[in-house]
Amino acid sequence: MLKYIIFILISIAVISCSSDEPPLPGDNDIVYVCTSGTAKTYHTFRDCGSIKQCSAEVLEVSRKKARENERIICMNCKNRENNNKPKDTLK
């Protein structure tokens, strides 16, 4: 009986560990990052005004990679994404 309980506890531990980081939608999207040391954001639009001001190299990476490097989405790009979404409620 004790062995059975231990088996269940181990199973729970393994399951909770493996579901640590679920993949998010858009992880494979290509985003743009400025390699300047001060840049902390990534961009979803290549012609974003902020990325044009980048004095260093601009790299194309996956969104997953950008997040792994603790980049956050640029507010300009985020707002632009939202504006591009169809607004059915206005019709």
Alpha-carbon gap, residue 70 to 29, rounded angstroms: 16
Site string for Zn ion, 3-42 (x = CB under 5 A): ----------------------------------------
Between 37 and 66, how does the x/- string for binding to Zn ion read (CB under 5 A)?
Answer: ------x----x-x----------------
57, HSE (Cβ side, Cα atoms, 13 Å): 3
Measured CA to CA, the distance from residue 85 to residue 55 in angstroms comes to 31
List contacts with Zn ion (CB under 5 A): 43, 48, 50, 74, 76-77
